[in-house]
Amino acid sequence: MSDRVHKLIAQSGIMSRRQAEVMIAEGKVKLNGQTITELGTKATFDDVIEVAGQVIEKKEEPVTYLFYKPEGVVTTTHDPEGRSKVVDYIDDARRLYPIGRLDYDTSGLLLLTNEGELANLLTQPKNQIPKVYEVTFTGVLRRKTSSIFEKGMILEKRKLQPVEVNFVKVDAKAEKTSCQLVLREGKNHQIKKMLAEFGHEVIRLKRLRIGPLTLDGLQKGTYRVLKPFEKKQLINAVQTKKSPHPKS
């Protein structure tokens, strides 16, 4: 639907309607390459509108989704191998991207958003939010191993944040163990690598929780919008780690 150009400019978020009117009156606005000076000129976002040389775009409404990622889906927005992608599941034309990642064969809770600030807040290493995983792996978890996890193990020459180990269930006959792990950081393939250091191979990995958010009410492959109060709770759950070398 067509609308007045100054309204479209305001909708792009770069300035107010009043400021847009002034820009038009001053001859600083072009519609499809032609300078316009009439305030009543109408257009749509399919037209090319330039304000002082800058082409405007429709501002997208911010949205964040909670998605129950199935196994066999990539978290990247582009996959050269043509595998199924998490963004394919969400029926929304906005440019969404995942916050952090889960491996191809990992299932569970994943956030997708077009809100850059939220994504930044949740992915900066200094900001920590507990993430709970349920993992089943080969072999029997030794007490010594879980105590190393809980103290913060060295992996690839770097000390990891402590990882809590809860609800350990050992199936000695089948030689496998299930437990929940609480991570406060997300190194690439972290759980698989931590367990591999002690000779365990991950059989199944699922993320149950990100801070206060859970999979409740979601089936594999389905999603829902993050509610404003949940966004506040999520932001409140972020703990900012102090720098070990504060500036004096």
Catalytic residue ranges: 103
Pick between residue 31 and residue 183 the one whose CB is nearest to ligand URA. Answer: 183
Among 99, 191, 210, 226, binds ligand URA (CB under 6 A): 191
How many residues bind ligand URA, per CB under 6 A? 8
184 binds ligand URA (CB under 6 A): no
Pick between residue 103 and residue 164 the one whose CB is nearest to ligand URA. Answer: 103
Stretch that binds ligand URA, among 25-33, 78-86, 163-171, 183-191 (CB under 6 A): 183-191
CA 50 – CA 11 distance, rounded (Å): 14
Long-range contacts of 113-119 (CB under 8 A, 24+ apart): 113/62, 113/63, 113/64, 113/65, 114/60, 114/62, 114/63, 114/64, 115/62, 115/63, 115/64, 118/64, 118/231, 118/234, 118/235
Pick between residue 52 and residue 168 the one whose CB is nearest to ligand URA. Answer: 168
Find the shortest distance in angstroms from Cβ 178 to ligand URA. 15
For residue 92, CA distances in Å to 5, 56, 64, 102, 222 come to 26, 21, 11, 21, 13
Find the shortest distance in angstroms from Cβ 55 to ligand URA. 39
48-107 residues near ligand URA, rule: CB under 6 A: 102-103, 106
Stretch that binds ligand URA, among 82-90, 139-147, 187-195, 233-241 (CB under 6 A): 187-195
Among 30, 85, 184, 192, binds ligand URA (CB under 6 A): 192
Nearest to 168 by CA among 188, 199, 140: 140
CA 96 – CA 77 distance, rounded (Å): 9
Instruction: Specify the amino acid at residue 23.
Output: M
Pick between residue 8 and residue 145 the one whose CB is nearest to ligand URA. Answer: 145
**How is residue 212 written in tokens?**
């206060």
Q: Three-state SS for 195? A: helix
Instruction: Please give the residue ranges that form the binding site for ligand URA (CB under 6 A).
Output: 102-103, 106, 189-192, 205
